[in-house]
C-alpha cells in the first residue's frame, strides 16, 4: 500500500468529532504560527477528513461559546484565533504531546476528601482507598485542598497500577499503533506522500494519540505491565510526526492564511516541538 492509499484507509476506520478535530488543527498548526486561521482554510481541512461545512461552523460556534476561540471579520472573511483564556490549556496539552515528562521519581499520596470528580479525572489521580488518592510524582504541585505525602518507588509498584483503569488505555494505544505503523513503514522505505496528504495524516496522528495520552496517568515503568504499549505508541508518534512534518509544513506555508497572509511554514515553536521529540 502506498502512502497515499493509507489516508483513505485511516479515514475509513476513524470516527472524528468536529470539535475535537478543530482543537487538533489549532493546537498542532495554528497556535505555533500566530494563533489565527481563515475560516475558509479550516473548512477545507475538515472537508478532507469528511467533516461538513455546517458541522465546522457549529463546532466553531461552540468553541467560541466555551471561550477557546475568538472570531473577527476582515472584509468578507472570517478569522478565528485562540482565545487568551485557552492559552494555558493548549500549552499544557502541547507539552504532553511534544515534550514527554521524565520518568516519575516516586509517588504522590494525597488525602483529599473534597476534590470534585472532574478534577480527579483531569489530574489523572488513582484511588487507593476512600479519600486517599495517588499519582506518580513528576514534581507537580498538589491540589490546594489536599494533604500530600511523597513516597519512593518500590516493590509494590505493580499492585499500585490497579488504582487506574489501564486496559482501555492499553487498547487505545495498541489501536493507534495498528493504524499508523503501516504508514510509518511505507515512508521509511522511501515512498512519497503529497504535502496536503502529509498535513492531513499528521493531524489524524495527533488526534488519535492525544485522546489516550490525556487520560494516561504516566505511571513509572516499575508499575506498568510488561505488555504496556504506551511507550511504543510514543515512539511511533515521534517517528511519524517527524516523517510527515517536512511536506506538511510546506503545505501550511503555501496554503493556509492568517490575517496578514500565508502562515509561516515553520516557527520557533514548531521547530522546538520537533527538537523535543528527538
Bridge partners of residue 135, in order along the sequence? 108
Q: What does the block give as the cell for 106?
A: 516516586
Domain ranges in the chain?
3-98+165-277, 107-152
Q: Which CATH architecture has domain 3-98+165-277?
A: Orthogonal Bundle (1.10)
Question: At residue 43, does pLDDT exceed 60?
Answer: yes
pLDDT for 102? 78
CB-based contact 16:56 (threshold 8 Å): no
Question: At residue 3, does pLDDT exceed 60?
Answer: no
In this structure, of 6-10, 112-116, 137-141, 222-226, the range with the lowest mean pLDDT score is 112-116
Residues 6 or more apart in contact with residue 217 via CB below 8 angstroms: 124, 125, 126, 135, 136, 164
Question: At residue 1, does pLDDT exceed 80?
Answer: no
**Mean residue pLDDT across the chain:** 90
pLDDT for 156? 66
d(CA 220, CA 156): 12
Share of the chain above pLDDT 90, in %: 60
**Residue 129: pLDDT band with limits 50, 70, 90:** confident
Query: Beta-carbon neighbour count of residue 112 at 10 Å?
Result: 19
**Residue 4: pLDDT band with limits 50, 70, 90:** low
d(CA 258, CA 93): 23
pLDDT for 65? 95
Higher pLDDT, 187 or 145: 187
Q: Read off the pTM.
A: 0.92
User: Would strands 107-111 and 147-151 be described as parallel, antiparallel, or unpaired?
Assistant: antiparallel
Q: What does the block give as the cell for 277?
A: 521529540
Which of 114, 112, 93, 103 minimizes the C-alpha distance to 139?
A: 103
Question: At residue 278, does pLDDT exceed 80?
Answer: no
CB-based contact 243:186 (threshold 8 Å): no
pLDDT for 2? 57
Amino acid at each position: 500500500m502506498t502512502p497515499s492509499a493509507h489516508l483513505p484507509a485511516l479515514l475509513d476506520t476513524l470516527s472524528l468529532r468536529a470539535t475535537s478535530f478543530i482543537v487538533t488543527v489549532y493546537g498542532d498548526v495554528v497556535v505555533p504560527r500566530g494563533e489565527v486561521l481563515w475560516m475558509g482554510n479550516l473548512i477545507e481541512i475538515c472537508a478532507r477528513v469528511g467533516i461538513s461545512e455546517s458541522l465546522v461552523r457549529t463546532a466553531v460556534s461552540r468553541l467560541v461559546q466555551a471561550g477557546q476561540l475568538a472570531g473577527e471579520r476582515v472584509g468578507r472573511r472570517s478569522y478565528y484565533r485562540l482565545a487568551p483564556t485557552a492559552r494555558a490549556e493548549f500549552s499544557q496539552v502541547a507539552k504532553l504531546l511534544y515534550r514527554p515528562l521524565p520518568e516519575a521519581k516516586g509517588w504522590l499520596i494525597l488525602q483529599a476528601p473534597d476534590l470534585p470528580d472532574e478534577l480527579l479525572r483531569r489530574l489523572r489521580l488513582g484511588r487507593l482507598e476512600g479519600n486517599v488518592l495517588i499519582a506518580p510524582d513528576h514534581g507537580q504541585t498538589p491540589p490546594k485542598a489536599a494533604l500530600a505525602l511523597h513516597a519512593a518507588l518500590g516493590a509494590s509498584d505493580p499492585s499500585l497500577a490497579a488504582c487506574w483503569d489501564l486496559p482501555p488505555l492499553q487498547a487505545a494505544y495498541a489501536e493507534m499503533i495498528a493504524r499508523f505503523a503501516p504508514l510509518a513503514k511505507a515512508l521509511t522505505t522511501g515512498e512519497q506522500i503529497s504535502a496536503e496528504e502529509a498535513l492531513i495524516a499528521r493531524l489524524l496522528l495527533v488526534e488519535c494519540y492525544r485522546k489516550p495520552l490525556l487520560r494516561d496517568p504516566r505511571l513509572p515503568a516499575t508499575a506498568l505491565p510488561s505488555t504496556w504499549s504506551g511507550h511504543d505508541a510514543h515512539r511511533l508518534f515521534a517517528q511519524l510526526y517527524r516523517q510527515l512534518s517536512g511536506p506538511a509544513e510546506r503545505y501550511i506555508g503555501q496554503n493556509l492564511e492568517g490575517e496578514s497572509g500565508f502562515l509561516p511554514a515553520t516557527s520557533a515553536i514548531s521547530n522546538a516541538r520537533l527538537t523535543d521529540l528527538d
